[in-house]
Structure 1
Amino acid sequence: MGDVTYGACCVDDYTAKALKADLLVHYGHSCLIPVDQTQGIKVLYIFVDIKIDPLHFMDSVKLNFKPEDGQIALVSTIQFVTTLQAVSTELKNSGYDVIVPQSKPLSPGEILGCTAPALPSTTKTIIYMGDGRFHLEAAMIANPKIQAYKYDPYEKKFTFEKYDHDEMQRIRHGEIQKAKKAKKIGVILGTLGRQGSVKVQDFLEKRIKKKGYETTVILLSEIFPQKLEMFKDIDAFVQIACPRLSIDWGYAFNKPLLNPYELSVVLGDVEWTPSNKSPNNAYPMDFYATDSLGPWTPNFKPPAVGECANKPSEGGTFLLF
């Protein structure tokens, strides 16, 4: 098969089964789709542990921050989490207040482009170890009030990173308002690996119909503006593939292209307004988290009897159906 995969969500067990394979070997990513949930085929995850120079990373942190500067959160991709843990221990021994946050089912310190934890108010700094910005941006979106830095282990560069939260939230809020005027909503189920979730699709379809909208289901491996332009009778779309597609590229589509969280705002199941006055109003990055805000995410687990429900925002609402 040998197809390219974009991330841990792209485990291609369906195609492997169609090819009558007995075993699927997936390199490089964490076990986001548990081996007991793949479709009739055994899956072997080969984790990649990239060895880098931890001393240069620690020296970079110590050069830029003092122990009295406040709590530091260390995050990375799965390839560097072993080094991240070692660096965390050494920095703590040097007097630094360091945490390695976890958003289950991900490993401690691991973040994805769609899943990153909301950090405690005691955290003053995020330091991301890795190349590129896609994963780091998830942590920045989820924590708009915390300064973020990136350490590139390949180029050995330590940089201060910025994200235009106001612009992103303004655009997404505008698309949500447009979608509220729609009469017919297209539900796009991503077929690239395991990006799409039938569980989320079923939930959203029921909610859309209950609210009185018409709906059409569309299966796509990749989503481009030209493809969606062909659906003339659809007023807005929700894509169950990669939430960041809507956030990063939604402006390129002529009709609203929402992710499941944004559609849930349209349907009134959760409240969100574009305001960064409080961390409680941050745009959530919890798509694969087990403690996500609601059933518009694939791993959501409703609170047990006696437990407190997850809260979407201060003063917000959360409805279960």
Structure 2
Amino acid sequence: MADAFSSSSENVIQRQVDVQETRRTPLEELDEFYQIQKTCEFVCQNHFSKVALQFPDELLHDSTAIAAEIERITQAKVFILGDTSYGSCCVDEVAAEHVGADCIVHYGRACLSPSKRLPLMYVFEKASIDLDKCKSAFGELYPDTQARILILYDVRYTHAIENLVGQLCEDYPNVVSSQLVVEGEQCYSHGQSKKEDDEEQPRIHFGRQLSLKSGLSVEDYNMFYIGQDGPTLRNFMMTWNRCSFSSFDPVTSTGRMESVSVTRALMKRFYAIERAKDANVVGILVGTLGVADYLVIIQQLKETIRNAGKKSYVFAMGKLNVPKLANFLEIDIFVLISCPENSLLDSSEFYRPVVTPFEMEVACNRSREWSSEYITDFRHLLPGGQNYVPPPEGQEDGDDTDVSLITGALRSNKLDRNHEFSHSSSLVLRNQTLTVANTNSAASFLATRSWRGLEQKLGETPVEKAVEGRRGIAIAYEEEGG
């Protein structure tokens, strides 16, 4: 424990800060945990001269030793990427391009979203798991040995899945496991437990191939997830919300039936859709620069929002937080473009709701209806995707109205062409209960603000030399007396 003091003159603030000591992996174990030899083969076979190693915060303590060993073996120039602009589960291709890297080696937990700019290799952290306790928990959760069970898992436990499935299949003939299949991935190939005479239908979801028996769908299986509660599990449960889920936490070595009400979560998302329907100005948040086709979905959303009679603005601000988004009060709702695991953002603390591209599509595309189906991967919404729904013909000229479930007022989805470039800041009132969409730009909202931010005042401010500032904190500067 360490004491943190705010001032040298007096202890205005005193608090306890937890400092966790991280144990570095011994040099003789680095190759086993981080696949250094295989990484060097990947670099040498492709003649890469500049290599970017992307680490999450929890693995940075081993980064320098890994980089030095790879440089020694391959003679390539190695760069370490940390503190990624967005989620560490996504490949940070932009940061790698800044250093002119020829390829990226991504370490730790990954969302497995496809990337297209640079050659990529995944190295998953080999997290420890007690297979005997996992098998025991599996037996308690599923006493029926004939049950159809699909095993999903966090990528950090990939190394143990083949052994586990082999043991389970001795008693559970209908158990199948997902297999990691990532576009452009060059890493270990993990086998799948199956009978050679079974006819299977391979399906790929979230970088995982699901080999199901002929005539069966995902909804015909129970889901058993290996890993801790987090965005990966929530993403699976929202996508396959008709399936029964259970999980095994390798950290605590306990299994449980997932009792989280998916129906309640879906109703919260439906409320967000209603907020999106009521919104007039939409902010499109760029939450990734590495997932393939993110520019395509941004353009599609801009057109969909415009056809619904709303204004849209694009924001790129890195990792999101409440103060950042609070700077844009003119925005009624935000839509986040991100990987499937990071798109389900809990926006309860934000001043404005944050929805997913699928939810914005439901709100603005009259051809897409709300159902129990939920889509977290925005690539499925694009033309050619498995869940693409084209807008209805003549949507731009339509004048359909509906009732807001939040305000009780009627809404019009018609885009008023006469006011599309208007700078007026007033609403057009049709009657007491029906108003047309407010198509005013954010610039008109800014004009009504009493404070508009810092002004440059070029040539008006005299040039002065730098002077020493105050020391301490705002309530107790050191030079101020008692």
- Tell whether the structures are fold-level matches, with TM greater than 0.5: yes
The one-letter code of the counterpart of 1:284 is: I
Partner of 2:252: helix, strand, or coil? coil
Contact 2:249 2:255 in 1 (8 A): yes
Distance in 2 between the 1:93 and 1:27 partners? 33
Contact 1:9 1:195 in 2 (8 A): no
Distance in 2 between the 1:142 and 1:161 partners? 15
The one-letter code of the counterpart of 2:287 is: G
Classify 1:170/1:52 alpha carbon distance in 2 versus 1 (closer, same or farther; 3 Å): closer
The one-letter code of the counterpart of 1:56 is: K
Identity, % of aligned pairs? 23
Aligned to 1:32: 112
The one-letter code of the counterpart of 1:15 is: A
1:222-233 equivalence runs, <5 A? 222-233=319-330
Partner of 1:238: helix, strand, or coil? strand
Aligned to 2:218: 120
- Give a deviation string over 1:168-193, Cα, whole Å, max 9, x none: 22222112112212222111112575
Distance in 2 between the 1:104 and 1:287 partners? 19
Answering whether residue 343 of structure 2 is matched by residue 284 of structure 1, we say no
TM-score, structure 2 normalization: 0.52
Answering whether residue 177 of structure 2 is matched by residue 100 of structure 1, we say yes
Distance in 1 between the 2:263 and 2:167 partners? 36
Contact 1:140 1:163 in 2 (8 A): no
Distance in 1 between the 2:104 and 2:319 partners? 22
TM-score, structure 1 normalization: 0.75
- Give a deviation string over 1:109-158, Cα, whole Å, max 9, x none: 9986x9998963322x3211112333222222223343322212232212
Distance in 1 between the 2:209 and 2:300 partners? 23
Contact 1:116 1:142 in 2 (8 A): no
Partner of 1:261: helix, strand, or coil? helix
The one-letter code of the counterpart of 2:312 is: T
Contact 2:339 2:377 in 1 (8 A): no
Answering whether residue 160 of structure 2 is matched by residue 83 of structure 1, we say yes
Contact 1:243 1:259 in 2 (8 A): no
Partner of 1:249: helix, strand, or coil? coil
Partner of 2:278: helix, strand, or coil? coil
Higher mean C-alpha displacement, 128-137 vs 194-203 = 194-203
- Give a deviation string over 1:12-58, Cα, whole Å, max 9, x none: 121121133444332125593556x12xx554432334453323322
Equivalenced residues, count: 289
Partner of 2:255: helix, strand, or coil? strand
Classify 1:45/1:142 alpha carbon distance in 2 versus 1 (closer, same or farther; 3 Å): closer
Partner of 1:75: helix, strand, or coil? strand
Aligned to 2:447: none
Distance in 1 between the 2:191 and 2:376 partners? 16
**Highest RCO, 1 vs 2 (Cα 8 Å, sep ≥ 6):** 1
Contact 2:89 2:111 in 1 (8 A): no
Contact 1:102 1:108 in 2 (8 A): yes
Answering whether residue 294 of structure 2 is matched by residue 197 of structure 1, we say yes
Aligned to 1:276: none
Shift, 1:245, TM fit: 5.4
Contact 1:111 1:139 in 2 (8 A): no
Q: Give the unaligned 5+ runs of structure 2.
A: 1-79, 184-189, 193-203, 211-215, 393-482
2:284 alignment partner, one of 187, 202, 214: 187
1:58-77 equivalence runs, <5 A? 58-68=135-145, 70-77=147-154
- Give a deviation string over 1:250-272, Cα, whole Å, max 9, x none: 22223231111101101125211
Contact 2:235 2:340 in 1 (8 A): no
Partner of 1:20: helix, strand, or coil? coil
Distance in 1 between the 2:243 and 2:119 partners? 41
Answering whether residue 367 of structure 2 is matched by residue 272 of structure 1, we say no
The one-letter code of the counterpart of 1:283 is: Y
- Give a deviation string over 1:280-318, Cα, whole Å, max 9, x none: x14334456xxx3x21xxxx744xxxxxxx468xxxxx3
Aligned to 2:82: 3
Partner of 1:239: helix, strand, or coil? strand
Contact 1:185 1:214 in 2 (8 A): yes
Aligned to 1:154: 251
Shift, 1:248, TM fit: 4.2
Shift, 1:221, TM fit: 0.6
Aligned to 2:124: 47
Distance in 2 between the 1:231 and 1:164 partners? 33
Q: CA RMSD in A?
A: 3.6
Distance in 2 between the 1:188 and 1:120 partners? 32
Distance in 2 between the 1:103 and 1:264 partners? 29
Distance in 2 between the 1:193 and 1:214 partners? 26
Answering whether residue 251 of structure 2 is matched by residue 174 of structure 1, we say no
- Give a deviation string over 1:176-235, Cα, whole Å, max 9, x none: 112212222111112575599212112211222233321111112112222222112222
1:15 alignment partner, one of 91, 95, 102: 95
Higher mean C-alpha displacement, 141-150 vs 176-185 = 141-150
